[in-house]
Structure 1
Amino acid sequence: MNGKPIIETVRLVLREYTPEDFDALFEIMSDEETMRHYPAPFDGERTRGWIDWNIQNYREYGFGLWAIILKESGEFIGDCGITIQNIDGEMLPEIGYHINKKYWRKGFASEAAKAVCDWAFTNTKYDRLYSYMKYTNVASYSTASAIGMKKVKEYPDEKNGISCAYAITRDEWERLYS
């Protein structure tokens, strides 16, 4: 398997991105339906930049968004991980996720996000993890809710118009999953 494996779940392996992930990632990030909550779908340059940004995050922070691989087939189906994001003017640890639309509604985003949350509370000192999204992104906030996050704010955002932030604290996570 290319890229260093980070997390394993029942159905998934999350591993570091490699440049060879470009084609599979571009299929996701260039898709208009998948990217409808972003300002625009990604072109090739922006997709390559996404991979490079995450590889830099691994070096700088020890984490980033990781490629999601289906154990059963070895297929790349998306990404999920932690990045440091500007959420209403604060730089905060955020769990993000993107899934190829062929695999929507099968629980893969929730399974990956839950595993990332577990990893983060086990391997970092963060006391709260966030997910933020455009206020219209029902799938994204449904995933955040599914892993125990609660809506903590709505705020005006230049990129999204209005964004919603969801969060889970270390104590809430321990109560839910210990």
Structure 2
Amino acid sequence: MIIETERLKLREYTFDDFDPLYEILSDEETMKHYPKPFDEEKVRWWIQWNIENYAKYGFGLWAVVLKETGEMIGDCGITIQNIDGELLPEIGYHIHKKYWRKGLGSEAARAVRDWAFENTKYDCLYSYMKYTNIASYSTAIANGMKKVKEYPDEKNTVSYAYAITRREWEALKKS
């Protein structure tokens, strides 16, 4: 599986991605909206979980690679997440902090959104995040999503859910 954008390639994870992924997911600043940064065991689990998702669903979080250098700088893709008690398709993303504020997360998320609507039957795609994660909901908004729900969440205190419907996406593609 490869999705290409102007600056990025998205491909399936392999265990060779452990070192760059560990650098991202173990970073306190990057993971400040999670209960805690990931340790080595959790990063290995993350890769394995996504490999299992590829087999089960045909998608998961994909490694985000800079075309120019071949460097793996994060992940972006679709997973099935519990959003306020419903299992829903969610576009998630993590980008290495040295690449923040360059539009790479939004570029990857738009490509995943397009891939999902072109290759799945989902009528709505979601992104959810801790209410304090301004960067994450800014990426969701840049991806054409609107806030559809705010709910109490044991893990996040309060979570926001953003969504875009197939109809909204089709209208975006026409404009």
Give the residue type in structure 2 aligned to 1:56.
E
What's 1:113 paired with? 109
TM-score by length of 1: 0.97
**One-letter identity of the residue aligned with 1:101:** K
2:17 is matched with 21
Q: TM-score, normalised by structure 2?
A: 0.99
**Runs of 4+ more than 6 Å apart:** none
**Superposed, which structure 2 residues align to 1:155-166 within 5 Å?**
155-166=151-162
CA distance in 1, matches of 2:2, 2:120: 14
Q: Distance in 2 between matches of 1:177 and 1:17?
A: 29
Can you give the 5+ residue segments of structure 1 that lack an aligned partner in the other structure?
Answer: none
Write the letter of the residue equivalent to 1:99.
I
For 1:120 and 1:6, the matched residues in 2 are separated by 13
RMSD: 0.5
Query: Where does 1:81-120 land on structure 2 (aligned, <5 Å)?
Result: 81-120=77-116
Deviation at 1:141, TM superposition (A): 0.1
Shift of 1:43: 0.1
Structure 1 residue 56 and structure 2 residue 45: aligned?
A: no
Separation in 2, partners of 1:136, 1:171: 29
Percent of pairs with identical residues: 77
Of the three residues 36, 41, 46, the one matched with 1:45 is 41
* Code of the aligned partner of 1:102: K
Aligned to 1:73: 69
SS where residue 151 of structure 1 aligns? strand
Deviation at 1:114, TM superposition (A): 0.1
